[in-house]
Amino acid sequence: MVLALCAGMVIFVLAKAWPSFASNGIGWFGAGEPDTQLGDIFKSPSAPSEYVYEIGVWPLLWGTILTTGVAVFLGLFFSLFTAIFIVEFAPPRLERLLEPVVRLLAAVPSVVYGLIGILVLVPFVANNLISDERKESVGYVTQLTGASWSVAALVLTVMIVPIMITIIVDALRSVPKGWIEGAAALGVNRWRIMWTISVRTVRPAIIAAVILAAARALGEAIMISMISGSLSFVPQPVDGLTFFFEPVRTLASSIVDNAEGLSVIPFGQTIYAFAFLLLVSSAVLSWAGWAAKIPMRKYGIRP
Amino acid sequence: MSLPGDQTTYSGPPPPVRRIVVSEEPTIVEPPRLDPSAPAAAVTGAPLTRRSDSLPASAIVERMRTENLRLYYGDNEAVKGVSLPVCRGEVLALIGPSGCGKTTLLRSLNRLTELTATARREGQIFLDNEDVDRIEVTQLRRRVSMVFQQPNPFPMSIFDNVAYALREGANRKPRKSALMEPVRQALDRAGLLAEVESNLDHPALRLSGGQQQRLCIARSLAAQPEVLLLDEPCSALDPKSTETIEQLIVKLRSEVAVVIVTHNLQQARRIADKVGFMYLGDLVEFGDGEQLFSNPREARTADYVAGSFG
């Protein structure tokens, strides 16, 4: 039943999106100006033979990869150490306080994060971190308003970290006590025990946490649409510090931003193509998670 | 219509349910013939003899000593003022009913009780006349290693399990080739090498229970400890593995001071040179194994050894 629903959804979306893929070919994934191209598609003539489909979504892809990748990377680092701290080093009272707080954070709606981002973080970045010279230096390409991919990635990190912490903490708690005592009896200190026994054992859970977090980050639309600047710009790492203040637009946020134009047939089909790509990437993510756990099963680490 | 019971029409083998006819001669099933050459021990259990004689007094060196050791869990006093020597060259067995502080005493010797939040210790423990509280705890546990009741090999390969303590103890990460020799040596001392030699990279958790326990002993031995604490190492094992481990313990005592907690009186009798009988946190009697079992001084010891309670 669920399988049929999934398959049905994928097929339906692919069927709807097909004209956009078919008319662009491999160039669909290539460089382009999605913002202006979407405008042209929106204004395309009403005769089906004259529909405009031309688009290159690389800027959107790059925005998605950049925000998701950085957020998951930072989140993994942060959540792993927080989880180790909660399980092994925090005094019991702090532990009892931290856990409900983390669970609460996991439930905060993303719009709230977006609101805080756009009202607090974006003005802060614009006023304090970006100098006027820096704004002028790129003025002819884009405007640095403070709304940028790095702010979006940071807020995204805050959004995904609570889920990751919860999963990793639960896994660390379930590591057999005998292994920890056994390592302690060999004269290994607490930190090394955590690192060589516990973290090693919970790798499958860490992978699961990463997959779940990446899936959430990939699909996050509203918050990113609010604070990433929502421009199909391609931030270049070679820009130095300016790189961090450049705006992006992600696949998911383009769907939200362009929702009002869906009644125009070719436009709707292009948006469906974005949705199809998101669907496929989450499928690839869950497959990758499954594949990454295979080598661990051998030594008795159960996912 | 023919029924299975109808003898006139049914000619196949007898049906599974047969009628018992009281007046008929009963069928007597022959008992299986025992092979007369089979050893009697297989049926009656191994005779209670020492695995080996005591070592000469010159080989016995005191390594650890507890002085008026008291251990508490919260307000509950688990060990009540025990003073005990632990010597190399002798196997010290702690016997007694469950919950009488044997394991707690054992775990305190390498300060493993400190992992329990509610545990508290009074009195002193010395390792080579040095107070264990003055020794850095990881250093102490490297010298005083412990094997647990349940085999607890790590979820790694056999090689990595044995090499674990070596890798963690080294300042710089040693190469695998450099570790091969000490790992094989440790496995050999634990009597496991022959069985796992060809598959050192197999997962340790796939070994049988007895092999896992010997692997845990090898893992402890790899770090060259001076004292080995064994907490009922054979309680989860079959007689064959138990025998292997007992022989191993007797062999080890000349190099390492061995303390073993056991519920198995026969085992204590087989392997121990010195026996301590603990009851409700007190060390009731401490003495030579033979003497304690055959001629106990205390009435409680005599009752326990005779099996009156336990």
pLDDT tens by residue, A156-174: 999 999 999 999 999 999 9
Beta strands in B89-118 (DSSP E): 91-95
Residue of B nearest to A200 (CA): B155
Token pair of A222 as six digits: 């509203």
- Domain assignment present for residue B5? The answer is no
- Domain assignment present for residue A9? The answer is no
Residue B203 to residue A300, Cβ atoms within 8 A: yes
**A188 to chain B, closest Cα gap in Å:** 6
The confidence score (pLDDT) of residue B295 equals: 87
> Residue B112: its chain A contacts at CB < 8 A?
181, 184-185
Q: Is B220 exposed, middle or buried (0-12, 13-18, 19+ CB in 10 A)?
A: buried
The confidence score (pLDDT) of residue A220 equals: 87
- Domain assignment present for residue B152? The answer is yes
- Domain assignment present for residue A281? The answer is yes
In chain B, alpha helices (H): 41-44, 102-109, 137-143, 158-169, 176-189, 193-196, 209-222, 239-252, 265-271, 289-294, 299-306
Residue B164 to residue A183, Cβ atoms within 8 A: yes
> Residue B171: its chain A contacts at CB < 8 A?
none
Partner-chain residue, chosen from A185, A197, A299, that has the shortest CB–CB distance to B110:
A185
Beta carbons within 10 angstroms of residue A45's beta carbon: 10
Residue of B nearest to A301 (CA): B155
Token pair of A149 as six digits: 């991919």
**B31 to chain A, closest Cα gap in Å:** 45
Assess contact for A248 and A149: CB atoms under 8 A: yes
Q: Please give the Cα distance from A186 to B151 (Å, whole number).
A: 14
**B14 to chain A, closest Cα gap in Å:** 51
- Domain assignment present for residue A26? The answer is yes
Kind and range of the H or E run holding B129 = none
The confidence score (pLDDT) of residue A115 equals: 92
**A276 to chain B, closest Cα gap in Å:** 40
Residue A119: pLDDT band with limits 50, 70, 90: very high
Q: Please give the Cα distance from B71 to B102 (Å, whole number).
A: 11
Q: Give me the half-sphere count of Cα atoms (radius 13 Å) on the Cβ side of residue B109.
A: 33
- Domain assignment present for residue B203? The answer is yes
- Domain assignment present for residue B272? The answer is yes
Residue B219 touches chain A, beta carbons under 8 Å: yes
The answer, yes or no, to whether residue B211 has pLDDT greater than 60, is yes
Residue A197 to residue B154, Cβ atoms within 8 A: yes
Residue of B nearest to A199 (CA): B155
Q: Give the count of Cβ contacts less than 8 A between chain A and B.
A: 77
Q: Round the average pLDDT of chain B to a whole number and report it.
A: 84
Q: Give me the half-sphere count of Cα atoms (radius 13 Å) on the Cβ side of residue B180.
A: 8
Question: In this prediction, does ipTM exceed 0.90?
Answer: no
Beta carbons within 8 Å of A45's beta carbon, 6+ residues apart: A51, A52
- Nearest CA to A216 among A178, A139, A161? A161
Residue A299 to residue B203, Cβ atoms within 8 A: yes
Give the residue from B103, B145, B156, B173 with the most A CB atoms within 10 Å of its CB, the best one to mutate: B156
Q: Round the average pLDDT of chain A to a whole number and report it.
A: 87
Using a CB–CB cut-off of 8 Å, the residues of A that contact B are 92, 176, 178-179, 181-189, 192, 196-197, 200-201, 298-301
CATH of the domain at B249: 3.40.50.300
Assess contact for A122 and A151: CB atoms under 8 A: yes
Kind and range of the H or E run holding B86 = strand B76-88
3-state SS, residue B264: coil
Q: pLDDT, tens digit, for every residue of A231-240?
A: 888 888 887 7
Residue B157 touches chain A, beta carbons under 8 Å: yes
Residue of B nearest to A203 (CA): B155
* Residue carrying structure tokens 């203040």: A245
Q: What is the DSSP letter of B297?
A: S
Assess contact for B70 and B289: CB atoms under 8 A: no
Domain extent, residue A31, equals: 16-45+52-297
The confidence score (pLDDT) of residue B45 equals: 43
Assess contact for B154 and B168: CB atoms under 8 A: no
Q: pLDDT, tens digit, for every residue of A25-54?
A: 888 888 888 888 888 888 888 777 778 888
Number of domains present in the structure of chain A: 1
- Domain assignment present for residue B60? The answer is no
Domain extent, residue B244, equals: 65-306
- Nearest CA to B281 among B133, B119, B74, B103? B103
Residue A178 to residue B150, Cβ atoms within 8 A: yes
Number of domains present in the structure of chain B: 1
> Residue A92: its chain B contacts at CB < 8 A?
117
Residue B310: pLDDT band with limits 50, 70, 90: low
Give the residue from B108, B111, B127, B141 with the most A CB atoms within 10 Å of its CB, the best one to mutate: B141
- Domain assignment present for residue B1? The answer is no
The amino acid sitting at A143 is Q
Assess contact for B240 and B207: CB atoms under 8 A: no
Q: Please give the Cα distance from B220 to B166 (Å, whole number).
A: 10
Q: Please give the Cα distance from B35 to B37 (Å, whole number).
A: 5
Residue B46: pLDDT band with limits 50, 70, 90: very low
**A112 to chain B, closest Cα gap in Å:** 41
Q: Please give the Cα distance from B186 to A257 (Å, whole number).
A: 66
CATH of the domain at A292: 1.10.3720.10
